[in-house]
Structure 1
């Protein structure tokens, strides 16, 4: 089954899937024989909070040969739609979303460190009008809706999430589905949105984005002082 009912944003995907999470993810992401499918291993690790496996997967070069990625983008091409392409209609397919929905904070942070997009977790424009009704439109929205602790919000802010993507009519701790918004998390979000980010924070986000997720591992080799390297690595 899909689990214990913790993430409230799964109904649309679960209804369409009618099967367990792993089978549904394989249906979404595997366009080669299932015995060669590695794409869902990352999702599985985020789902159960297996930090060791997640870290190992993100370091395996062979893993990338199958098109697996911290972002859901290898099936989403804005201009050309191959025969196996699928539209993103729910954040449930995102490893970052899955780790937040199941409150796996360390996995959530590791995915961000690996370059996961802190907003939609995919590259290119996303039409949220195609999302299932009532489902979150961005990762920050999902984090708040699922009652995640303040640390999740702080991490998204630190990694440059667009705080204006949350489109609630009234930002209060009222219930947004099966769980209530964590008051402390909501306060951190409101404070972050009301105060401009520091230039230091913006510079780190800009440098990491310029490098791109596939070159973040090269930061230690940059001709920079060690303190700056550690800062770029969020150490």
Structure 2
């Protein structure tokens, strides 16, 4: 073993998923379940990042704090969302993990969207994750989805009321999707109310960021700039805005006609 592994045996056992070794170490009383490395990585971080549910559960049983952050501000919940392990995410949330950490270098929701782990994303939203909060790097989760082309995650966020018009360093998700020339992503954003006239810090609209004059993306954006949208389109957006994210979560359970629920859900 290296010196680091000798110094942090809990970390190594948790990272490698060696449940019985971890149990023996913790039961000995010689090791602190919350001991951090020089980067403030705890054994629980290691278990969650590797997706070892049983190891994470054992560490919590022995007093691991689910809300301790590493040097980059990531909690164990962030790491569980990185791995995409829904069971680990559920475990941490049930034991009081903060779905919206106070010091937002990153957040669990940003990490889930970055890797398109949409099942983790839905679970975080169920527990009240803030869809419109920006991190220090990419912006909102929708910015990340636009940068990475993760349409599944974007569709979930938009359906539940995430704003497509929040800027980050003067760029909206529509600008990001235009730069990557993702036609389907642009259509998704526009249908959910993205402002086609919004300009970045150089005074450029999303259309002006599309390099090719014959690109279907440029044609689409030009049409949205020149052709007024239907009253039906504006009514849907207005009703969704009035409901807000908290009510949109429960839209399928509202006592209104099914046809109206489908309309508001873009179905």
When normalised by structure 1's length, the TM-score is 0.62
Contact kept? 2:175, 2:209, Cα under 8 Å: no
Counterpart of 2:208 in structure 1 is 171
Q: Distance in 1 between matches of 2:256 and 2:186?
A: 30
Residue pairs, 1:153-192, within 5 angstroms: 153-166=186-199, 167-168=203-204, 171=208, 173-174=210-211, 183-192=215-224
Contact kept? 1:119, 1:161, Cα under 8 Å: yes
Say whether 1:94 aligns with 2:161: no
Contact kept? 1:100, 1:108, Cα under 8 Å: yes
Residue 226 to residue 162, structure 1, CA distance change in 2 (3 Å): same
Say whether 1:71 aligns with 2:104: no
Residue 226 to residue 164, structure 1, CA distance change in 2 (3 Å): same
Deviation at 1:181, TM superposition (A): 9.6
Which string of whole-angstrom CA distances, capped at 9 and with x for unpartnered residues, describes residues 162-205 of structure 1? 1110342782642xxxxx89922222111111111111111000
Give the ranges of 4+ consecutive aligned residues of structure 1 lying more than 6 Å apart after TM superposition. Answer: none
Residue pairs, 1:107-186, within 5 angstroms: 107-120=153-166, 131=169, 136-145=170-179, 147-166=180-199, 167-168=203-204, 171=208, 173-174=210-211, 183-186=215-218
Contact kept? 1:91, 1:138, Cα under 8 Å: no
Residue 201 to residue 24, structure 1, CA distance change in 2 (3 Å): farther
Q: Distance in 1 between matches of 2:119 and 2:253?
A: 25
Q: Distance in 2 between matches of 1:107 and 1:182?
A: 29
Aligned residues: 169
Deviation at 1:222, TM superposition (A): 3.7
Deviation at 1:41, TM superposition (A): 1.5
Deviation at 1:23, TM superposition (A): 6.5
Residue 56 to residue 193, structure 1, CA distance change in 2 (3 Å): same
Task: Select the structure with the greater relative contact order (CA < 8 A; seq sep ≥ 6).
Answer: 1
Structure 1: which 5+ runs fail to align? 1-21, 74-87, 122-127, 175-179
Greater Rg by CA: 2
